[in-house]
Amino acid sequence: MQERGRKILLVLGAGVSGLAAALAAGAPVFEAACVPGGICSSYFVRPGQSEVLSQCPPDQEAYHFEVGGGHWIFGGDATVLRFIESVTPLRRYQRVSSVYFRGSDRYVPYPLQNHLRCLDEETRSQALAELVRPEGPSNTMNQWLERNFGPALSGLFFKPFHDLYTAGLSETIAPQDGYKSPVDVGLAVRGALHDTPAVGYNAEFVYPEDGLNSLAQRMAARCDVRYGKQAISIDAKAHVVHFADGAAERYERLLATLPLNRLIELCGLVMEQPADPYTSVLVLNIGAERGRKCPGDHWLYNPDAKSGFHRVGFYSNVDRMFLPLCARDSGSHVGIYVERAYRGGARPAASEIASYSKAVVAELQEWGYINGVDVAHPTWIDVAYTWRWPGSRWRDAALRLLESYDIYPVGRYARWIFQGIADSIRDGFYSGVSLRC
């Protein structure tokens, strides 16, 4: 309960940002689902069955999947990581990932520009010459890719990959997230001849040893979470949230973790600027017999998959706890997630998802990654990645407009930015402390 004299503060959304905000503010959280975590949550499926379990069965004979694919915890400052570890024990990992070129059956360690020795001599020489040129101005992501990495590497990997990753938006959206694949000419030159050290924002990562759902569930246990409370409208002037069950809650300050475009719609507010774009992601989780050519990587970046996916990851290469108990020691099975992007909410029909799932399974079998399949289960993330039009001021204007009505967006989707789980928790704590008074 909030102390007397404090303004009424409510939190919408029991993902990690909302839970952290509620912990810091001592405010109630209203969550549409019946479990916490949002897309940062786990589920379990027994081999040969389709029933989705929210908890690992007692005998542990089930594949362990994530709703949003491989949500590993990277970055974050030491204080946030210490908090997470106080909630649930963590395991630490060193990234193992590659770019996989299907056409040539070639694996190049990530990041590509630091491992040019793995490419043919002509491409390697051209790429080195282009990488030392100064970067010029760029308005779109594709322009930035070519000017940052050069035409050779851009044409070989960066453009086709980002075309898939952004569902074709890379031709028109502004450059974004350059830190994900940093360019260091010295490392590129070294990598043309020798091995290089791991670099990038996710070179090291952690994951709860009891599963990602343990983090959200244990945070939620410390909060006043009200489940089954789907917000259907917000009266921004009257400061009232209306829910699908007919209930309504008054607030003086509202911390909201819903996607920014959705918040604007719920409030019935009108923006002069066109909304910035976003992409949705279809995640296909697969449990299968391990094929003889299945790699040992944690995940692969795929620029030319026939099925249209841009990344395939291997849960069980990160940790065998993702496998049914009987398969953990033998190495006979594998847990996989496959990601494919779609433009803003363009969700395919169930029949299309079924056809795509079959195509992915067939392609992974063709690659020798899997044999017989125990489970193939799709999940849909409506707002997965957020982008900006060049020169857009929509995001900043939307945040200011909401804040003028005492609605404070918090977290990755509400603030329309890319960040990981640790930074989302940090933002929740910061916002909760700031608004509790």
pLDDT digits (tens, 9 = 90+) for 255-294: 999 999 999 999 999 999 999 999 999 999 999 999 999 9
The model's pTM: 0.94
Give the CATH number, domain containing residue 65. 3.50.50.60
Number of domains in the chain: 2
For residue 200, the model assigns a pLDDT of 82
38 lies in some domain: yes
Residues 68 and 112 in one domain: no
Indicate the average pLDDT of the chain: 94
| Whole-angstrom distance, CA of residue 317 vs CA of residue 321 | 10
Same domain? For 55 and 120 the reply is: no
66: nearest Cα among 239, 315, 290, 247: 315
pLDDT tier for residue 5 given thresholds of 50, 70 and 90: low
* Range in 174-183, 194-203, 331-340 with the lowest mean pLDDT: 174-183
Domain co-membership, 141 together with 174? yes
388-398: per-residue pLDDT in tens?
999 999 999 99
Q: 84 and 6 in one domain?
A: yes
Go through 221-252 and write b for each residue having 16 or more CB atoms within 10 A of its CB, e for each that does not: eebebbeebebeebebeebebebeeeeebebe
d(CA 177, CA 9): 33
Q: At 286, give phi and psi (nearest 5°).
A: -130, 135
Looking at the fold, whether 106 and 137 belong to one and the same domain comes out as: yes
Contact between residue 249 and residue 243 where contact means Cβ atoms under 8 Å apart: yes
Shared domain check, 63 and 136:
no
pLDDT in tens, 319-377: 999 999 999 999 999 999 999 999 998 999 999 999 999 999 999 999 999 999 999 99
Asked whether residue 27 is assigned to any structural domain, the reply reads yes
Range of the domain at 115: 97-191
